[in-house]
Amino acid sequence: MNIFLLGGTKDSINIIEHIKKDYDAFILTTTTTEYGAKLAREGGSDKTIAKPLPKDEIMAILGENHFDLVIDATHPFASHITQTIIDVTNQLKIPYIRFERPTTNLENIDTSNIHYVKSFDNAGKLITEKFNQGNVLHFAGANTMEDILKYVSPERFYPRILKVESSIKKCERLNISPDHIISMNGAASTQENITLIEKYDACVMITKESGEIGGVIDKIQAANEKNIAVVMIQRPEIDNLNKNDVISDLDELDIKLKNFF
């Protein structure tokens, strides 16, 4: 069975390892970075593509090759690519599965420091209005920095990013000083987040509602420990996503895959 996997997340690596262990499948994984592709190869992906793919290229790849299934394991905030791949699979009549990590369970977490917004633009406005003293920790990826920096000075902005060329160039273009860049690989622990809050004298932390696998609880607990604000961007809604195509764990994936193997 040939599987086209849209990856770039920890979830996608777990899916690759699971499928290669338990099924006879060829997997082509697409990611937006070489780092993501490297992790996919290490996880067992047979082939990788390490660049953003526009709709026409995805159409060409799926149209010219025989893929039995498309699995979308992109980040919950990568709504554009999810909308694109849904359109493509509908046109080409290829089965589609969306792997979407569950939202964070905050039932036993103090949420009094959390301020919810629906976009990064709104996050920038809120910080300007309410948190204009002290520095800003941006724990939401390099691709979202620009919306914040329309409102927040680079002098008080500290992004945690993957230290890859594309992200470094974004920082340079946005006039972010190299000594403000916090390089990372994977989610940080509560203590590591506390250390960063103290080191950079932060008054606010920006994060996505990316689920427990994205380290959201550790970020909130660190912010609570140091009594700073958390500006949390809520997940975007995807209008044309069929809820019957959505799964959230590997057991649910197995149930879907049994229809194909």
Percent of the chain with pLDDT over 70: 99
Residues 137 and 216 in one domain: yes
User: Which CATH number goes with the domain that contains 19?
Assistant: 3.40.50.720
The pLDDT tens digits for 193-251 are 999 999 999 999 999 987 776 689 999 999 999 999 999 999 888 878 898 999 999 99
Condensed to tens digits (0 to 9), the pLDDT of residues 134-145 reads 999 999 989 899
Looking at residue 219, which CATH number applies to its domain? 3.40.50.150
- End-to-end C-alpha distance for the chain, whole angstroms: 8
Q: What is the mean pLDDT of the chain?
A: 93
- State how far the Cα of 147 lies from the Cα of 117, in Å rounded to an integer: 13
Asked if the structure places residue 108 within a domain, the reply is no
Is the separation of the CB atoms in 181 and 168 below 8 Å?
yes
Same domain, 138 and 71: no
| pTM of the predicted structure, to 2 decimals | 0.74
Q: Which pLDDT does position 56 carry in this prediction?
A: 95
Do 158 and 195 lie in one domain? The reply is yes
Total count of domains within the chain: 2
Phi, psi of 29 (to 5 degrees): -110, 130
Question: pLDDT band for position 105 (50/70/90)?
Answer: confident
> What does the pLDDT read at residue 123?
97
- For residue 41, give every residue at least 6 positions away whose Cβ sits within 8 Å of its Cβ, in sequence order, or none: 48
Same domain, 147 and 200: yes
Phi, psi for 123 (deg, rounded to 5): -65, -45
Mean pLDDT value across residues 46-65: 94
**Confidence at residue 88, expressed as pLDDT on a 0 to 100 scale:** 96
- Cβ atoms of 138 and 206 within 8 Å: the answer is yes
Same domain, yes or no, for 84 and 147?
no
Whether residues 44 and 120 fall in one domain:
no
Rounded to the nearest 10°, the torsion over CA 2, 100, 94, 240 is -170
Based on the domain organization, do 47 and 18 belong to the same domain? yes
Residue 75 belongs to some domain of the structure: yes
On whether both 252 and 163 belong to a single domain, the answer is no
Contact 231, 140 (CB under 8 A): no
